[in-house]
Chain A
Amino acid sequence: MKKEIPILFGLIAAILWYSEFFFAGMFFDNLKVFFASGLKIAGVVGIMIGVYSVARQNYFKIKYNNERYYAILRVSMIFLMIFLGSQRGMASGTPFSSMFFNVYIPFQATTFALLAFYIASAAYRSFKAKSLESAVLLTASILVMMGKIPLGEAMWDKIPVIGEWIMDAPSSAGRRAIIFGGYLGMITMMIRIFFGLERSHLSD
């Protein structure tokens, strides 16, 4: 029954959800609101599960000395932010806001900025014209990059046009093929879940 009931719920929800696409009326309008409200509640429960999961993971890390000091630091920071936010509010000028803007934002921005350094190093070591295909790829990428920076346009006004054509025609065509493939896979998976053939989401 552990498996059958969720499959039955899934089947009923899918039938109702699909009916809404084909029929109009108050019942189906209310159905949309019902699903929207239900999923909002599910989202709130999801956040609660997330909080529980973080607390549980860090508790075991501290208990069994698995990167204990990182876990202590992580939990301390979480509780510090909760404490500051609940005691003094989150408006600008409060300690929470100060921590957020002066600690959290620079940390996150730094993590993303590291990408530029890795790309430069990887490009130097690996981006070589070893074959005709890689030479074409290299030329196309340089033209696209030149088209994206103002210097390219200043050098020759056709560089952005060429770069744009590469993005709009060959690159876009390849991407469409990937999108089509992905969506066909999703439809197949959806049909399998609908008929109860796919049970991996139920840990089967």
Chain B
Amino acid sequence: MNVLEKLKNLDRRIIYLLVFLSIIIPLIPGFDFLKFPVSASKETKAIFDIIEGLDEGDAVHIDFAFTPTQKAELLPFFEAFYKHCMLKKVKVFIYYGASVNGMPLGKETVKRIMQRPEFSHMEEGVDYLNMEYIPIQPDIQIFGMVSDYKGTFKKQGKIFDGVETLDDIDLILGISGSKWHQPLIDMQIRFHYKFAMAVTAVTGPDYIPYFQTGQLCGLSNGLRGAAEYEMLVSKKYDVDYYGTATKGLSSLTFSHLMIFGLIFLGNIIYFYERKKGGK
């Protein structure tokens, strides 16, 4: 059996090991040699620009609709976006829409961010609010928010001063790795709210048409989108908010190169066999 024959029948466990190493090695300190600067895409920059355009006291509603499954890709974006809102002194309402499982993760993350010295003076109920979970579909949620924002979530606090209905919300950000936010995209045409999304890389292409039509005013795509946002906030405010997304890019690059290598090898074997007259 020649080398190509052996490679053709390569044990899948060897492929798994190669992928594993390509992901793990760049995460080891000192081995992140495939580190390159990222530039912001227009979709991610659009979200950043909207927050930059807000004034102190304006309101942002975050629909945190992902489970810990998608933590690696989506939590870094949430962290960077939330820090950006806090720096701008924008009121943030965090609702755990699709995900009762994601609620502890979100609340813990918010708590950790608020312990940073620059945000330690901010208070829950005044500057930000965790709005827990209500078993309610996004379209019904929007209908409720149009009539009575506070009443929809049955919450109280000083943060609601000046926030009566959906018209008082300057941006809704949906973070999810599923189709949960599709009704919010559909209903944007009727109620004309600003709606942006942060999604996993695998679902990202589904939402590009909506960004083109303006139903989405911004779109962060996977780990790369989160790294772009970390970079935008860090550069603008001269702070070190580079987090796990930026660290993960080296791993992302190396694992992509590994997949290119595997595809290339698979094709060499295929063409060699075809030349020989095999299948």
Give me the interface of A with B, judged by CB distance under 8 Å. Answer: 29, 32-33, 35-36, 39-40, 43-44, 46-47, 90, 92, 97, 100-101, 104-105, 108-109, 111-113, 115-117, 119-121, 123-130, 138, 142, 145-146, 148-151, 153-154, 160, 164, 167-168, 171-172, 175-176, 179
User: Does B38 lie within 8 Å of A150, measured CB to CB?
Assistant: yes
CA distance A104 to B71 in the complex (A): 12
User: Is B146 in contact with A175, judged by CB distance below 8 angstroms?
Assistant: no
Contacts A46-B135, A47-B135, A150-B37 hold; do A125 and B266 have CB atoms under 8 A apart? yes
In Å, the complex CA distance between A113 and B113 comes to 26
Chain A residues positioned under 8 Å from B18 (CB to CB)? 120
A-side contacts of B143, CB under 8 Å: 32, 35-36
A111 to B69 Cα, complex, angstroms: 7
Within 8 A of A (CB), among B138-185: 140-141, 143-144, 146-148, 151-152
- Interface on B for A, CB 8 Å cutoff? 10, 12, 15-16, 18-20, 23, 34-39, 41, 67-72, 101, 104-105, 108, 111, 134-137, 140-141, 143-144, 146-148, 151-152, 201-202, 205-206, 208-209, 212, 222, 224, 249, 252-253, 255-260, 262-263, 265-267, 270
Please name all residues of chain B whose beta carbon is closer than 8 Å to the beta carbon of A149 when the two chains form the complex: 224, 249, 252-253, 256
Known A120-B15, A128-B266, A168-B208: A112·B38 in contact at CB below 8 Å: no
Minimal beta-carbon separation of B12 from chain A (angstroms): 5
Q: Is A150 a contact partner of B249 (Cβ separation < 8 A)?
A: yes
Q: Select which of A113, A126, A151 is within 8 A of B253 by beta carbon.
A: A151
How many Å from the CB of A71 to the closest CB on chain B? 21
Q: Are B36 and A117 in contact (CB under 8 A)?
A: no
Question: Nearest residue in A to B108 (C-beta to C-beta)?
Answer: A92
Does the CB pair B205–A123 fall under 8 Å? no
Contacts of B270 in A (CB 8 A): 128-130
Assess whether A92 is in contact with B152, with CB atoms less than 8 Å apart.
no
Is A105 a contact of B262 with CB atoms below 8 Å? no
The 4 closest A-B CB pairs, nearest first, are: A43-B135, A150-B36, A105-B68, A124-B262
Residues of chain B lying within 8 A (CB to CB) of residue A145: 256, 259-260
**B contact residues around A148 at 8 Å (CB):** 201, 222, 224, 256
Q: How far is the CB of B63 from chain A (nearest CB, A)?
A: 16
**What is the distance, in angstroms, from A10's C-beta to the closest C-beta of chain B?**
17
Contacts of A115 in B (CB 8 A): 202
Alpha-carbon gap, A46 to B140, bound state (A): 16
Q: How far is the CB of A52 from chain B (nearest CB, A)?
A: 15
Cβ 8 A contact of B259, one of A119, A125, A172 = A119
Of B67, B68, B140, the residue contacting A39 (CB under 8 A) is B140
B144 and A124 within 8 A (CB): no
Which residue of the partner chain A has the closest CB to B134?
Answer: A40
Docked-complex contact A40 and B135, CB < 8 angstroms: yes
Q: Which residues of A contact B212 (CB under 8 A)?
A: 168, 172
CA distance A30 to B38 in the complex (A): 50
Contact (Cβ within 8 A) B71 A109: yes
Q: How far is the CA of A17 from the CA of B266 in the complex (A)?
A: 55
